[in-house]
Amino acid sequence: MLNKEVSKVQAISPLSIKERTGTINIAEIISVLKGEITGLHIKQAFSIEAADEITANFTGNPGLKERTDGVPGQYIGASHYRKDASTYFAEAQEARPFVDAVFGNLLDPVRGVFDGLKRHLHSQGIELRLAQSEQGQANVCRALCWSGTGTYDLEPHDDVAQLLYGGNDCEISAVANNIVAALNFYPSMPKEGGNLRIWSHKPTVADRKSQGLETTGYPYSTAYLEPIPFYDLHLKAGDIALIDGGYVHGVTRHSINDKRRLLLNCFFGFAQPDLVLWWT
């Protein structure tokens, strides 16, 4: 007999994927924020020289830490996942010099997207800013290497549930009512595997509850995802992926003997009709 938790039919939400080579543009970013594009993959979006320098700066960074929150990986920066606002913002503040050091003397390409989007939204009467609290301000990005040892480097999850963990004292929790855009830059990628897999499913609060993932959105089981179609973004160093983080997504396994899989990640979305917040 089927397990009660996975016996109901998961709603299929169609994916709208766009893949091309070039430079990311503001219209596409807005399309993701509006829910018109689920996954945007820009190939060769930033230079290999910048990618290599970021990778070298990550490897030698004194702020590089092992994650201890149940998600296997190494990181520089702060993750709000499973943290209250004061802990998250204090950690972000502390990690700032190390995040800056990831870019060294480079023009920071993540900051470039932030600045471009900020200018555009400003002209529409919408403010874009880093999320903040009395303890400090979010960083523009965090740098991460996943180290899962099962089927996935990073288990299937959504990026919305985690906004509800810290309660309402955190201003980013309001974004959970809207689209949470996840912006990823890939400075180093293995030859095989490490795909960003997006499932055709955007879990509701009730879906998450049925899986016991109300405030984490991590990890969705193989049984739960089994009937759902998915699409893999095959990423290379220098690529950018921008996805609707409300859809279940994860990272396929890559060989340990291959190159490091390094990403720079951040999230943004509407907290109010005239306010877009950005955090990590």
Ligand X SMILES: O=C(O)CCC(=O)C(=O)O
Positions touching ligand X (CB under 6 A) are: 154, 159, 182, 184, 196, 249, 251, 263, 265
Closer of 159 and 244 to ligand X (Cβ): 159
Give the interface with Fe ion as residue ranges (CB under 5 A): 159
Closer of 40 and 50 to Fe ion (Cβ): 40
**CA neighbor of 160 nearest in space, from 111, 117, 114, 220:** 220
Closer of 50 and 248 to Fe ion (Cβ): 248
Other beta carbons less than 10 A from residue 169's beta carbon: 10
In the list Fe ion, ligand X, none, the entry touching 76 (Cβ below 5 to 8 angstroms by class) is none
In the list Fe ion, ligand X, none, the entry touching 188 (Cβ below 5 to 8 angstroms by class) is none
d(CA 228, CA 151): 17
Least distance in Å: CB of 162 to Fe ion? 9
Least distance in Å: CB of 47 to Fe ion? 25
Closer of 120 and 234 to ligand X (Cβ): 234
Least distance in Å: CB of 248 to ligand X? 10
Least distance in Å: CB of 265 to Fe ion? 8
Q: Which residues pair with 224 in a beta bridge?
A: none
In the list Fe ion, ligand X, none, the entry touching 196 (Cβ below 5 to 8 angstroms by class) is ligand X
